[in-house]
Chain A
Amino acid sequence: EIVMTQSPTTLSVSPGERATLSCRASQSLNNNLAWYQQKPGQAPRLLIYGASTRATGIPARFSGSGSGAEFTLTISSLQSEDFAIYYCQQYNIWPPYTFGQGTKLEIK
């Protein structure tokens, strides 16, 4: 089973600033990585797939990068609606699909 580790657990950033979230896999993923955003009381929403492709309707301030086993989600110029929990998920080797434990992005 591929283990996904996200860092930091909590990230405090001011509105308008840039946020950088990290996701590390226990082995190489061939870019088979997705990112999700979850707000309180809501289901996760797909942001990024293929490590760097934005899903339909996702603003350009969200970008994904990385390769191998190290990946980054960057949110440029944070908006109030971006404060949420973010999860990464690998689909390179499954079953099982596995998720990171999440990074909570909070307002500084």
Chain B
Amino acid sequence: QVHLVESGGGLVKPGGSLRLSCAASGFTLSDYYMSWIRQTPGKGLEWVSHISRGGATTFYADSVKGRFTISRDNAKNSLYLQMNSLRVEDTAVYYCARDQSYSWFDPWGQGTLVTVSS
């Protein structure tokens, strides 16, 4: 069964850092592109970042470019999101999702809550 489980969320002060992890099981991670997507009550669903199967190519939303870094360790079946210089507006539930070759997302993890507040 294909399964994604995020971890690493929590409360952090503005300007702080956090690293999210996503553990994949039930499929070979190296066969798939992956993305991070976040959700807030105010802005809804917002795609954050994408990484190619080998990790050589990455893309970011303008809102996080230069502050967030996506990476992966296929040997550990894991995806990561390093978030630096966090802002209040980065507060959201962060989901990892399998990216079906530059298209739709299936499946999604259960999400991890990141709260940026002083």
Interface, chain A (partner B; CB < 8 A): 32, 34, 36, 42-46, 49, 55, 87, 89, 91, 94-102
Contact = CB atoms under 8 A, between A and B. Distances in A.
If over half of A's interface residues share one DSSP class (helix, strand or loop), that class is named, otherwise mixed; here it is loop
23 contacts: A34-B103, A34-B104, A42-B110, A43-B95, A45-B108, A46-B105, A46-B106, A49-B100, A49-B106, A87-B44, A89-B45, A94-B102, A95-B47, A95-B50, A95-B59, A96-B47, A96-B62, A97-B35, A97-B50, A98-B47, A100-B44, A101-B44, A102-B44
Interface in B66-118: 95, 100, 102-111
A95 B35 CA distance: 12
Contact of B111 (A43, A91, A96, A101): A43
A100 B46 CA distance: 10
By Cβ-Cβ distance, the 9 closest A-B pairs, closest first, are A34-B104, A43-B108, A46-B106, A99-B45, A97-B47, A49-B104, A91-B103, A95-B59, A101-B44
Interface of B: 35, 44-47, 50, 59-62, 95, 100, 102-111
Contacts of B45: 44, 87, 89, 99, 102
B103 A44 contact: no
B107 to A, nearest CB: 7
Most buried by B among A36, A43, A49, A100: A43
